[in-house]
Each structure stands twice: as C-alpha cells, then as structure tokens.
C-alpha cells in the first residue's frame, strides 16, 4: 500500500470550483455473518458512492491519531484538516460553540448524556433516544435541583446535552464515553482522577432526582425504559480555531442533525443550514438534507452533509438498518449532489466516514476508515467500488489531517 504524504500550510484558491463533502458517520464496519460475510458498505446498493470511488481516488485515512479515543469529534477535526494534537480540547467544548457557551480558567464544559442503567449495566446511552420535550423538561428541573451547586445544565438535541461546572481549577478527571460501554458494568467506568468525587456526586444527585420524576413516571406507564442517570464526559475548554476559508480558500455551508458537527461548523466560520426533520438518528430527513445541499451549492463553494444514521445503526447492532441508511444516503444525498456538481463544470466530491462503528461491538473503532473522491480534473486510479477491502489496496493518508489538502489539490 502506498502511504501518501502532502505538505500543509498553504491556502488554496478555488474560485471556479464547486465542492461537496458527504460524511456518513460510522459507515465503515467489518464483514458480518448476517450479511453473508459482507460489510454494510459491500451489502448496500450504493451506485453513486461507487461511481465516485471508481472514477477518482480511493484509500484509507487515519482519522484517530494514536492516544485519542475514537469519536466523531477527533475524527471530524482530522478529516477537515485540523490536527487534533493542536485543536482538540474535548467533545463538549466543540458542541458548546453552537450555543455560544464558553468556559473560563475555573470552568469546564461536560457532555451530559441522559442514559438508562439497569442492573449496573449501561443498557442505553441514549435513554431510548429521549424526546426533545422530555429533555428540555429534565434540564429545567436539573437546574432547579442543583441551584445550590455551581453547575448549569444546557439542553442539546435529545440525549446529547451539556453541563458547565465552576470551581474546577484543580480538577484532572478522566471520564469514559457512554457509547463505548454498551451493556458493560458502569462500575468499571465511573469518573476517576482528581476531582472525580465531585463529578460522581453530581451524577448520583441527578439519579436521585430522576428516579421519581414525572417524565419517568409517564415513560414507565407507556412501557418505556426510564431515564435513570446522567453521564458526564468529554469535558474541556474551547480552543480557538482558524476559519476553514482562511485555510482552504472557500466558503462553506454545513447540514447536520447533531451539535458536535454544528459546533465544528461554527468554530470554522461555516454557515449552518437547518433542515426540518434532521433528527441525528436513523429516521432523519435524508431527502430534505439532499435537497438543501443541492440548493446550497448555488450560493457556496462548498457544502458539507453529515448523516448520523449509520453510526446510530452500528450502536444499535442493527446491520439491516445500517445498510438501509447507506442506501438512503446514496440515493437521496449523494446522487442529487453528484448530478448537480456534474452540471457545474469544475467540481469535486469527497465521501468520508469519520470512523468505523462495527455492528458486532456497537462501539467506535480507531481502524482507519475508507474515503473516496472524484472530480472534473481527478484521474481515476483504483477503479473499484467504495468498500473497506477495496480501500485497503488504495492510498493511506497518515497523518489524516492532510486528507483535506489532498482533496483540494488533487
């Protein structure tokens, strides 16, 4: 395999070009018995992604540098040309950017998941993909419950929320992402380190409030698992980032259903386009995202479409749902975008999962995922469909934050 290295540090002028980047979150996987020994990418009918792969460049990219926990935060920073060693300060501060939430020297921002823990096991790190109405009610009541503690809770999307904690100057705590411990004993993953007792106490007090809350009473009545706990993790303070335009010379718009990508977009100076029904789940509005992306190319040099659905299907351990998500992304997002781009003259498209989310483990993996890109001036090299096995015989981009410059320069 050829290991590709490119130089960084030079802005790129793209005046005549149109670009599209599609991020099928967690799309990469392993061969699965239930799919006849194929991966979801191999099993899915994805003619448009395959077209991009067969008419351009194909390979793998190291999105999670050694020593980092695999996740959308680190991996997406890498994909967009931002070295995590320089720019990564935790998941929560990135999500906080979209809310304009900052943290001083004596403050930390934590990601706050609503979760369901049963018999000591992490049964569901999404609390059944708690509804937005339930989330907002619980956040209000958490703030009332903690009125005597220097913390403030902020509602995000569904189970994905934030907590700002003060008086933490000497805190040095390690916290585990809840999506990495499905059905595992939580006792092995409680916060640890200096200040962990305080974080654990906050989590315990929240569990007491949630136990008999009206939201949970109603959930139990309708046969839904209760929201048993909050899970605090991904903490840090915001890091200032250079704008994407200053680094790569083009304006951009971003379409997503989750705050981690929204926060990155805001940090990079990109425009956010909200699409009704973009849920950040497998029921997201694929067609709406595709139509909005096509329209955005009339105004912007670059449009980015992030789709969480393959990742969520992986966390559910549902191979069929993952295949379906990939097929809908291909038909309703990649296909319309490719048609639009090919009528623009000069163009390029990149397909890049951030990391694998294997159905067998239901957790993120640091294995380098495949990518492919094509365009009006990009020479076809591998001429193979978009699969993990085909990409293994392509180029390897390491360090991964050099992929974006490769895409623009190719």
- How high does pLDDT run on average in the chain? 94
**Position 9 pLDDT exceeds 90:** no
Quick one: DSSP state of residue 185? B
Tokens of 321: 């749902």
- Say if CB 11 and CB 248 are below 8 A apart: yes
The per-residue pLDDT for 345 is 87
Q: What is the dihedral of CA 88, 92, 94, 95, to 10 degrees?
A: 160
**Position 12 pLDDT exceeds 90:** no
Per residue in 191-204, pLDDT (tens digit) is 999 999 999 999 99
Per residue in 83-105, pLDDT (tens digit) is 999 999 999 999 999 999 999 99
**Position 5 pLDDT exceeds 90:** no
Per residue in 216-248, pLDDT (tens digit) is 999 999 999 999 999 999 999 999 999 999 999
- In CATH, 3-88+240-409 is 3.10.290.10: no
The per-residue pLDDT for 285 is 98
Q: What is the dihedral of CA 316, 211, 101, 269, to 10 degrees?
A: 20
Q: Cα(163)–Cα(237) distance, rounded to whole angstroms?
A: 12
Please state, in angstroms and as integers, the Cα–Cα distance from residue 200 to each residue in 35, 103, 151, 267, 374, following that order.
41, 21, 13, 31, 49
The per-residue pLDDT for 33 is 98
**Position 50 pLDDT exceeds 70:** yes
Q: Cα(266)–Cα(101) distance, rounded to whole angstroms?
A: 12
The per-residue pLDDT for 14 is 47
Banded model confidence at residue 67, pLDDT cuts 50, 70, 90: very high
Phi/psi region, residue 209 (left: phi>0; alpha: psi -120 to 50; beta: rest), is: alpha
Q: Cα(265)–Cα(334) distance, rounded to whole angstroms?
A: 20
Rg (C-alpha) for the chain, rounded Å, is 21
The per-residue pLDDT for 3 is 43
The per-residue pLDDT for 355 is 98
The per-residue pLDDT for 251 is 84
Tokens of 135: 């989330």
Q: Please report, for the chain, the start and end positions of each structural domain, with discontinuous segments joined by +.
A: 3-88+240-409, 97-236
| Average of per-residue pLDDT across 260-264 | 95
Banded model confidence at residue 278, pLDDT cuts 50, 70, 90: very high
Q: Residue 20 pairs with which residues in a beta bridge?
A: 303, 349
Banded model confidence at residue 395, pLDDT cuts 50, 70, 90: very high
- Say if CB 139 and CB 154 are below 8 A apart: yes
């Amino acid at each position: 395999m050829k290991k590709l290295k490119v130089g960084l540090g030079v802005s790129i002028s793209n005046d005549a070009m149109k670009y599209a980047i599609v991020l099928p979150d967690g799309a990469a996987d392993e061969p699965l018995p239930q799919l006849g020994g194929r991966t979801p990418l191999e099993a899915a009918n994805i003619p448009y992604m395959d077209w991009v792969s067969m008419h351009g460049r194909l390979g793998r990219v190291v999105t999670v540098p050694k020593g980092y926990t695999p996740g959308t935060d680190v991996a997406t920073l890498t994909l967009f040309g931002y070295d995590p060693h320089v720019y990564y300060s935790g998941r929560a501060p990135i999500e906080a950017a979209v809310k304009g939430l900052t943290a001083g020297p004596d403050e930390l921002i934590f990601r706050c998941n609503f979760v369901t823990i049963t018999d000591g096991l992490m049964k569901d790190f999404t609390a059944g993909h708690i509804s937005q109405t339930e989330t907002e009610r619980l956040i209000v009541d958490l703030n009332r419950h903690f009125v005597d503690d220097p913390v403030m809770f902020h509602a995000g999307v569904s189970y994905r929320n934030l907590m700002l904690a003060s008086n933490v100057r000497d805190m040095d705590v390690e916290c585990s992402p809840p999506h990495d411990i499905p059905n595992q004993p939580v006792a092995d993953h409680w916060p640890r380190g200096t200040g962990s007792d305080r974080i654990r106490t906050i989590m315990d007090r929240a569990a007491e409030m949630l136990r008999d809350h009206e939201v949970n009473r109603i959930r139990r009545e309708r046969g839904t698992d209760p929201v048993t706990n909050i899970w605090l993790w991904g903490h840090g303070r915001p890091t200032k980032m250079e704008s994407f335009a200053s680094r790569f010379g083009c304006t951009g718009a971003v379409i997503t259903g989750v705050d981690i990508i929204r926060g990155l977009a805001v940090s990079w100076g990109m425009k956010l386009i909200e699409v009704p029904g973009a849920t950040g789940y497998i029921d997201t509005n694929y067609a709406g995202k595709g139509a909005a992306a096509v329209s955005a190319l009339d105004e912007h040099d670059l449009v980015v479409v992030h789709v969480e659905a393959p990742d969520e299907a992986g966390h559910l351990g549902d191979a069929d749902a993952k295949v379906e998500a990939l097929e809908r992304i291909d038909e309703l997002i990649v296909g319309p975008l490719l048609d639009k781009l090919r009528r623009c003259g000069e163009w390029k498209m990149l397909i890049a999962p951030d990391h694998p989310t294997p159905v067998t483990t239901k957790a993120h993996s640091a294995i380098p995922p495949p990518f492919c890109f094509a365009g009006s001036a990009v020479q076809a090299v591998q001429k193979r469909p978009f699969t993990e096995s085909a990409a293994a015989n392509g180029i390897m981009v390491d360090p991964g934050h050099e992929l974006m410059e490769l895409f623009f320069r190719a």
